[in-house]
Chains A and B, each alone.
Chain A
Amino acid sequence: MDFGLFLTSLGNVVLHPSVLLMVFIGVAGGITIGALPGLTATMGVALLVPFTFGRPPTESLAMLLGIYCGAMYGGSISAILIRTPGTPAAAATVLEGYPMGQKGQAGRALSMALFASFCGGTIGALIMTFLSPVVSRFALEFGPVEYFALALFGLSVIISISGDSVVKGVMSGMFGLLLATIGFDPISGFPRYTFGRVELLEGPAFIPTLIGLFAVSEILNSIEKMGVLKEIKASIDRYIPSWQDIKVSLKNIVKSSLIGTAIGSIPGAGGDIAAFVSYGEAKRSSKHPHLYGTGVIEGVAATEAANNACSGGAMIPLLSLGVPGDAVTAVLLGAFVIQGLQPGPLLYREHLDVVYNVFASMLVANVAMLLVGMAGIRFFARIILVKREILNPVIFVLSLVGSFAMRQNIFDVGLTLAFGVLGWIMMRAKFPLSPILLALILGPMTEANLRRALTISQGDYSILVSRPIAIALFVLAALSLVVGILNQRKIRKLLAESVEKGQEPG
């Protein structure tokens, strides 16, 4: 590492008030966009790119990276407070974050999410800067067969997020996979299960489905039980993570950051997948897996570290290969080109200063995220204490407008309501909702790559076992399935014990 060059780059960001200001504006805007259901980091970056045309590269990059980092954390705020993942990447954070909020520990969950996001983001940025050429070679190895194997591995997490009944979890997951096949067939282009609606040609739009299943179902549930459920009291809440919490979560934060960076570096696999995989791993390695689902702080730490590490990871193929790692970096690629910078292998050889500038901006953006987030938590955590008769109507409107915003289509708002009702019914019948989401994320990846691989091999199935990385991933998927099912037994035993001891689970 050229330390002098790095210091210069850091100076380029920290010593220029205008650049620093852009970072803070970007981060604050990113957190807001991320927290609002229906607005994703991609949209935030895309809509702001035109404003950066006339500005110098350091300023505009700093701002765009600020939005990117901020939005990744922002998604967890609404996930924890109102059970709506603000961005798809925060979907796994709902699993432990929302129960924590309901127990009156919103501040504790939010501050841990922020701390883990900061750690994940920083680790991701470090790996991006120093290991890019190595990691990017690994990323290029990913062809259709490897993607298919990775998707299967991701789907094996369904067992871990099934809740009480694996059978119901698998049913939810298969239902999600079927939903994912609605619309154009990825290989032949034939429209499937569209019920004759043009709006369904690209499948049920992801964000409206997400908002419907999670937010609207919860609003309906909450409206039904108003007055029956007691109001949440944040009596023993805190706004900075305690030393104890950090100690408990540190192992998971480091592990998840590495998982997040690795998955983020593979083009087309992003924070949503990384967060679920990390959650599965955290639960697997936990000493008390039976408490997962009732608000476990390490769960929040794992998912948030993973999705923020992903932003660093996704920058790896962008900078070193000129290939975007996810939707946000695809937009960033456009911004780079407009600024006259062509990411690619030459960047690390000839323009290390640009790489260091990106690195410095990401580091500063993460610090800015920590500061802005800490200032905001006190305020955010109180949202949950607002009276239900005010909170519910406002969240309802936000959910509906958020689902409209994505495609500016009334059909999507109706879809959100329909999925809200479905989620409400499934909650009552004790069907877990997260497997649907995971299947929606991974379904297209699974199918398209399986069929793409078979197209390349002209229908010869042996292509699936012809590549080492893919075989390794298949083995991992099988292991994860077996371990997940064994774990489920252990959980049942632990639950039975804790009931015998007269303890409430969780």
Chain B
Amino acid sequence: MKRTAWNLAGRALAAVVLALVALAPVAAQAFPRKPVTVICPWAPGGGTDTILRALCKEAEKTLKQTINVTNNTGGGGAVGHSAIMQAPADGYTVGMITFELNSLPPQGLIPFDYKAYDPLMRINADAAALTVHKDAPWNTLKEFIDFAKANPGRVTVGNSGPGSVWHIAAGLMAQKTGTNLVYVPFDGAAPAVTALVGNHIRAVSVSVAEVRGQVQAGQLKILGVMDTQRNALFPEVPTFREQGVDVVFHTWRGLALPKGVPPAVKKTLSEAFKAAFDSPDFKAFAEKASLALAYQDADEFGKFLAQNAADVAAVMKSLGLAK
């Protein structure tokens, strides 16, 4: 009696082991077998979150699995970025990385940098622009710079927060033109734009998308964009380079994995997200949100990250923002 029970148990065990061995390769091929989580370091409903959710909705179709977006916010992006880095490297956790990954390390706020990730793809890159009130006496970048040079420490330029991407953009412009500007940090880009409309500051250095509504309504005017080419929405606005100031500056967003994800899994993911990126629905969404899509594959994105990190660190150091 006893022996039969043991025998049965042994056989059952053997069967389970066999089944597992047989299933193992199938399981590896069948990534993803369960829902994939994407970590967003910014709050639900914000720009980054909206783009990510729109992209994931499309990627689900190719991946044939649910994609859950988790918002791990806090610490100016530090919390979410470290959550991505520490996630298990099985491909079931993907992360959205943003510009702040390159501006937090120089400030000594996070003990890691872009090298702690395995980049997947860049999604968009939005250029900074210099925008002033419609009644401002300047119509070109040169007039603005001349005025700033004649009145050092009197021209106030609003940005979206201390050490934020647009603060650095204004700093870079001042550095390249030899002007002395007053940087006024606000709690995000929208309040800075509002303050400009109300004539409480003289200019803002945020992206075109963030001033678009007010410019179209005739409240504000853009003096130049810090891009290599003109903005599709406002083709009449010249770039900084065209006006003799060699400044190109973008914020960017992309996808990355924690280090150590198997190459096959990485390939599946990058194909799925590329397909989502190319889908007409996502393209239509990006256009409505006036988002400058700028795809780069994993290799290019990696090189871009290194270059951008070096640039940002240098500017922050000269602005006194770095530790």
Contacts and interface: CB of A to CB of B under 8 A. Distances in A.
Direct contact between the two chains A and B in their complex (CB within 8 A): yes
Interface of A: 42-43, 45-47, 49-50, 53, 140-144, 184-189, 191, 198-199, 201-202, 205, 267-268, 317, 321-324, 330-331, 334, 337-338, 340, 342-346, 407-409, 444, 448, 452, 455-456, 458
Interface string B45-80: 111011001100100000000000011111110110
Nearest to A345: B217
5 contacts: A189-B107, A199-B74, A199-B75, A201-B76, A407-B79
Contacts, number: 138
B193 A323 contact: yes
B309 interface: no
Interface string B175-192: 000000011111100110
A321 B72 contact: no
Contacts of A187: 162, 185
Contacts of B219: 321, 344-345
B216 interface: yes
A53 B285 contact: yes
Interface string B154-168: 001000011100000
A15 to B, nearest CB: 28
B71 A456 contact: no
A458 B82 CA distance: 37
A445 to B, nearest CB: 9
Contacts of B82: 198
B109 interface: yes
B2 interface: no
B321 interface: yes
* Most chain B CB within a 10 A radius of its CB, from A42, A322, A338: A322
Given A186-B162, A337-B288, A342 B45 contact: no
Nearest to A50: B53
A245 to B, nearest CB: 37
A187 B187 CA distance: 9
A444 B183 CA distance: 19
Interface string B137-179: 0000000000000000100100001110000000000000000
Contacts of B53: 50
B163 A189 contact: yes
A184 B53 CA distance: 28
Interface string B304-321: 000000000000000001
B292 interface: no
Interface of B: 43-47, 49-50, 53-54, 57, 70-76, 78-79, 82, 107, 109-110, 153, 156, 161-163, 182-187, 190-191, 193-195, 197-198, 200-201, 213-214, 216-219, 285, 288-290, 321
A45 B49 CA distance: 13
A246 B43 CA distance: 40
Contacts of A455: 156, 182-184
A202 B200 CA distance: 26
Contact of B190 (A50, A323, A452): A323
A456 B216 contact: no
Given A43-B45, A337-B289, A409-B79, A142 B198 contact: yes
Given A407-B71, A409-B74, A455-B182, 5 more contacts: A43-B44, A50-B57, A142-B198, A199-B75, A456-B184
Contact of A456 (B200, B217, B290, B321): B200
A333 B124 CA distance: 21
Top 8 nearest A-B pairs (CB, nearest first) are: A46-B45, A189-B162, A143-B200, A344-B217, A201-B75, A140-B198, A322-B213, A331-B45
Nearest to A342: B213
Nearest to B53: A50
B72 A409 contact: yes
B195 to A, nearest CB: 6
A340 B284 CA distance: 11
Contacts of A268: 187, 191
A23 B186 CA distance: 35
Contact of B78 (A140, A201, A331): A201
A267 B197 CA distance: 12
B44 A185 contact: no
Given A185-B162, A338-B289, A456 B191 contact: no
B107 to A, nearest CB: 7
A477 to B, nearest CB: 21
Contact of B186 (A346, A409, A452): A452
A409 B83 CA distance: 10
Contacts of B45: 42-43, 45-47, 49, 330-331, 334
A9 to B, nearest CB: 22
B190 A198 contact: no
Contacts of A324: 190
Nearest to A344: B217
Contact of A452 (B153, B184, B197, B321): B184
A143 B190 contact: no
A412 to B, nearest CB: 9
B276 to A, nearest CB: 14
Contacts of B183: 455
B75 A188 contact: no
